[in-house]
Amino acid sequence: MTSGAGPERSPRVRPYTMTRGRTRTGVALAVETLVETASGADPRGAPQEQQAICRLCVRPISVAEVSARIALPLGVVRVLLDDMAGDGLVVLHVASTDRPDLALMERVLDGLQRL
């Protein structure tokens, strides 16, 4: 993936133009939130950086990694990902900030007791 967001992206494009000046997202995207390209996503017609993200996230990677690999600031990537999720291009695996659910804890307990 050396091409990444690649050669076609002009460095003279200011990041805020990609987000149309927005800095906030609808969902809180942590750096470790996993991003995955939605199955059947068709990014043709989407901006280049979004297409690059779609190519990048065929296997799920974290928001931080997306930012690093397409060389865009984290804040910009967050806004883009939020947009893309809204457009059905990517799926964001937002971890629950709540405690783990009972079913998971039961499995942990079961596993610990079988150690």
Q: Would you tell me which residues interact with another protein (CB under 8 A)?
A: 34, 36, 60, 93, 95-97, 99-102, 104-115
21 versus 110: smaller Cβ distance to another protein: 110
Q: Which is nearer to another protein, 27 or 95 (CB)?
A: 95
As measured in angstroms, the least distance from the Cβ of 31 to another protein is 10
Is 15:72 a contact under the CB 8 Å cutoff? Answer: yes
**CB 36, min distance to another protein, A:** 8
The CA–CA distances, whole Å, from 19 to 1, 6, 16, 43, 96 equal 24, 18, 5, 17, 26
Q: Residue 46 or residue 63: which is nearer to another protein going by CB?
A: 63
Count of C-beta atoms within a 10 Å radius of residue 27: 13
> What is the closest distance, in whole angstroms, from the C-beta atom of residue 41 to another protein in the complex?
17
Angstrom distance (rounded) from CA 9 to CA 27: 27
